């Protein structure tokens, strides 16, 4: 165990991990512990200094996207009061590069669930089906083959409710090779989205989450209940209603070329305001 430290401007570890992208990290000491794929990692932040085990630095740098040009991304944000407020309270959040299957599977469990519930289900699934990792209190996220060996009823016991069927079927598709998640990475965004939407339990919103959080499509905008409210706040003219189609259009044309980033800041800020943490 040999700790190293690197300076990263425009990075806030805690905000990033609490912004609803990823659900299994746990605060420990003055830092955070979690699994990056199968690697047990402990990360700390002191000012702009980020420290972790030397052997993890490469994995950590990629996972937390230290290469994203945050200054440039901030310049691309739309010029609105709410967006400025979101930047103030969310500064330093980076879009994480998650493993494809882990990201897809966790967001299949997300519809009509609060962030804390998604975390609970995710941890329950890891505990029941995932491989143990030495030094880690939680298991690795189970592979598609491991979940395909489960059954719908057992998945329901992890709190999934009606989402159990979708996750089970999706696991089978991937495990049987009917769907190659690695191939999706090479597709243009529109085709990648269509392919993802062919998976049970995956509609536009979940597809966009997966494109943004696992396939590096920084212009993908998941529109959930929170972002729908924000889009109305930003673009709805009074006495007019914003249709889903219009929200989709605005999200693509008015949030800048890093629309996914803008969306993440707006999402987190809107939630923080609501829960009194903003």
Residues that bind DNA (CB under 7 A): 19-21, 110-118, 120, 156, 159-162, 166, 197, 200-207, 209, 222-227, 243-245, 263-264, 267, 271
Q: Looking at beta carbons only, is 135 or 203 nearer to DNA?
A: 203
Residue 223 DSSP label? -
Q: Looking at beta carbons only, is 1 or 225 nearer to DNA?
A: 225
Q: Looking at beta carbons only, is 8 or 155 nearer to DNA?
A: 155
Q: Looking at beta carbons only, is 4 or 115 nearer to DNA?
A: 115
Residue 257 DSSP label? T
Q: In whole angstroms, how close is the CB of 58 to DNA at the nearest point?
A: 25
Angle of CA points 86, 233, 97, to nearest 5°:
45
Q: In whole angstroms, how close is the CB of 264 to DNA at the nearest point?
A: 6
Do the Cβ atoms of 188 and 180 come closer than 8 Å?
no
Q: Looking at beta carbons only, is 129 or 265 nearer to DNA?
A: 265
Q: Looking at beta carbons only, is 85 or 133 nearer to DNA?
A: 85
Element of type H or E holding 204: helix 204-214
Q: Looking at beta carbons only, is 32 or 213 nearer to DNA?
A: 213
Q: In whole angstroms, how close is the CB of 205 to DNA at the nearest point?
A: 3
Residue 75, number of CB atoms within 10 A of its CB: 10
Do the Cβ atoms of 100 and 181 come closer than 8 Å?
yes
Q: Which residues pair with 51 in a beta bridge?
A: 5, 44
Strands 26-28 and 39-46: unpaired
Q: In whole angstroms, how close is the CB of 229 to DNA at the nearest point?
A: 8
Do the Cβ atoms of 212 and 227 come closer than 8 Å?
no
Q: In whole angstroms, how close is the CB of 11 to DNA at the nearest point?
A: 17
Residue 238, number of CB atoms within 10 A of its CB: 4
Q: In whole angstroms, how close is the CB of 57 to DNA at the nearest point?
A: 26
Sign of the C-alpha dihedral computed for residues 123, 40, 222 and 88 taken in this order = positive
Element of type H or E holding 50: strand 49-53
Q: In whole angstroms, how close is the CB of 21 to DNA at the nearest point?
A: 5
Q: In whole angstroms, how close is the CB of 47 to DNA at the nearest point?
A: 26
Q: Looking at beta carbons only, is 51 or 76 nearer to DNA?
A: 76
Do the Cβ atoms of 42 and 28 come closer than 8 Å?
yes
Q: What is the DSSP string of 130-178?
A: SPP-TT-SSPPPPPHHHHHTS-HHHHHTTT-TTHHHHHHHHHHHHHTTS
């Amino acid at each position: 165990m040999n700790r190293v430290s690197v300076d990263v401007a425009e990075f806030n570890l805690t905000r990033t991990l609490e912004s609803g992208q990823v659900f299994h990290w746990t605060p420990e000491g003055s830092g955070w512990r979690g699994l990056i794929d199968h690697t047990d990692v402990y990360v700390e932040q002191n000012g702009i200094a980020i420290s972790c085990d030397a052997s993890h630095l490469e994995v950590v740098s990629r996972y937390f996207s230290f290469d994203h040009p945050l200054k440039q991304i901030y310049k691309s944000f739309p010029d609105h009061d709410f967006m400025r407020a979101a930047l103030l309270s969310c500064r330093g959040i980076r879009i994480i590069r998650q493993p494809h299957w882990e990201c897809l599977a966790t967001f299949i469990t997300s519809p009509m669930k609060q962030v804390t519930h998604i975390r609970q289900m995710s941890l329950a699934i890891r505990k029941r089906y995932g491989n143990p990792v030495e030094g880690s209190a939680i298991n690795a996220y189970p592979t598609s083959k491991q979940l395909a060996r489960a059954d719908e009823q057992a998945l329901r016991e992890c709190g999934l409710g009606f989402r159990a069927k979708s996750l089970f079927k999706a696991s089978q598709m991937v495990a049987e090779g009917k769907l190659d998640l690695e191939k999706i990475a090479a597709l243009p965004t529109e085709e990648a989205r269509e392919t993802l939407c062919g998976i049970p339990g995956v509609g536009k919103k979940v597809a966009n989450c997966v494109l943004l959080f696992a396939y590096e499509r920084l212009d993908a905008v998941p529109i959930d209940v929170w972002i729908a409210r924000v889009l109305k706040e930003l673009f709805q003219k009074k006495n007019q209603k914003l249709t889903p189609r219009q929200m989709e259009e605005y999200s693509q044309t008015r949030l800048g070329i890093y629309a996914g980033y803008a969306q993440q800041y707006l999402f987190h800020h809107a939630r923080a305001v609501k829960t009194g943490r903003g």
